[in-house]
Amino acid sequence: MRPDDIGQDLVPWLHEHSEIWEAALRDSGALLFRGFGIDSPTALNRCIVATSREWASYRERATPRTAVGDNIFTSTEYPAGEVISLHNENSHCTSWPLKLYFCCVTASATGGETPLADCRNVLAAIPAAIRDEFAERGWRYRRHFGFFGSLGRTYSLLPTATR
């Protein structure tokens, strides 16, 4: 979705066009806004407040990220050559947000990507017998943490100073 005027404030646009973007979000599962001048964590936070009644905090951390605003974090801070596989954000947590917001303030000069998939379609592609077995048996998450300097989850992400 693009504004009539480049740099237009997204928050009033969201209020004025709520039926349009909410229907598009329900249909597609994701929206891309370009040209609205969202150029800082503060500007992004205004959009979050305008479109969400509540949001989940980043408590059960799984990857290294840096807070850059009110409940706004950098993307996972992995080396550029590492690939982050497609996943459901915070699916390992006891609570998760219903909406995710991404904002690119400074684009990478090379590489960089944020692939998205409509998980409704992913789920539909899994054979019914497998889905039924998960529904019947349930599942359990088991988290494994590495050590400082290892790529991936480390106990240093937890709010503690000791292992």
At residue 56, the pLDDT reads 67
Residue 125's pLDDT is: 98
Burial 73-88 (b: 16+ CB within 10 A, else e): beeeeeeeeeeeeeee
Tens digits of pLDDT across the chain (163 residues) = 998 888 899 999 999 999 999 999 999 999 999 999 899 999 999 999 999 887 767 777 777 888 898 888 888 888 878 888 888 887 777 777 788 899 988 888 887 788 889 999 999 999 999 999 999 998 887 766 665 555 555 555 666 666 6
Token pair of 99, please? 């909406």
Q: What is the pLDDT, as a whole number, of residue 155?
A: 56
Q: Which amino acid is at 50?
A: A
Instruction: For residue 76, give every residue at least 6 positions away whose Cβ sits within 8 Å of its Cβ, in sequence order, or none.
Output: 63, 64, 65, 84
> Residue 47: its pLDDT value, please?
93
pLDDT digits (tens, 9 = 90+) for 79-104: 878 888 888 887 777 777 788 899 98
Burial 91-100 (b: 16+ CB within 10 A, else e): eebeeebeee
What is the pLDDT, as a whole number, of residue 159?
Answer: 60
pLDDT of the residue at 127: 98
pLDDT of residue 82: 81
Find the DSSP H helices in the chain: 10-16, 18-28, 41-51, 119-125, 128-137
